[in-house]
Homo-oligomer: A and B are copies of this chain.
């Protein structure tokens, strides 16, 4: 045994036997969804179906948002030079950082700090949210997870939180997100609705994920869209073209309905 011997609790591999978090992987195949598998890999426990569907909804929500985000432009730019798929994906992933995707992690931190504050100071979540918003205003810090450059009423966050919907987990951090939105509106006189990053942040808090994996969900989801863009760049465009970051139009199918 080498002095560098170490331990891992993720996967055991023996001849003809692979177990993820203790479950034979061939038994998981065909039984659980990829989303449940992601949850199992990260948390070490199999989620029930309701949580599995919530992870599915989160991961579907962020697959793509058109060709303007920097992750897509970086991936297309690298793909355009004839680079392999993994290089184009890696470049796109590197663009998912503080200002692009990072709002999920910051949003989680805010919501967790409202919860901690409500507990520590024995005040309501509404009061704790008001104090966090007041402090952010005093230090000129912008709150993450509210408002959107394009959408005044983000259909994705609405869907995640529709109380009549079967998705909604109705956890504590959903209430905190609503309290923050309220406090923000009271403080600024302008309502900035929870955006999809903020909504995902609240769900990940409710599911007990640490902030350090926040970006993983956005990255996993967006890599799927990225591959679609890389493929389109390879098959539809000339190599080494100059890629305009916003002057493009959609010419695919429209008005399709989900049954």
Contact = CB atoms under 8 A, between A and B. Distances in A.
A10 B14 CA distance: 37
Given A18-B155, A18-B156, A24-B258, A41 B225 contact: yes
Interface in A149-168: 150-156, 158-160, 165-167
Interface in A204-259: 210, 212-213, 215-216, 219-221, 223-225, 227-229, 231-232, 234-237, 239-258
Given A22-B255, A100-B81, A153 B42 contact: no
Contacts of A12: 66, 250, 252, 254
Contacts of A224: 34, 37-38, 41-42, 220
B256 A10 contact: no
A203 to B, nearest CB: 12
A65 interface: yes
Interface of A: 1-2, 4-35, 37-38, 41-42, 44, 46, 53, 55-57, 59-61, 63-68, 70, 73-74, 77-78, 80-91, 93-100, 102, 150-156, 158-160, 165-167, 210, 212-213, 215-216, 219-221, 223-225, 227-229, 231-232, 234-237, 239-258
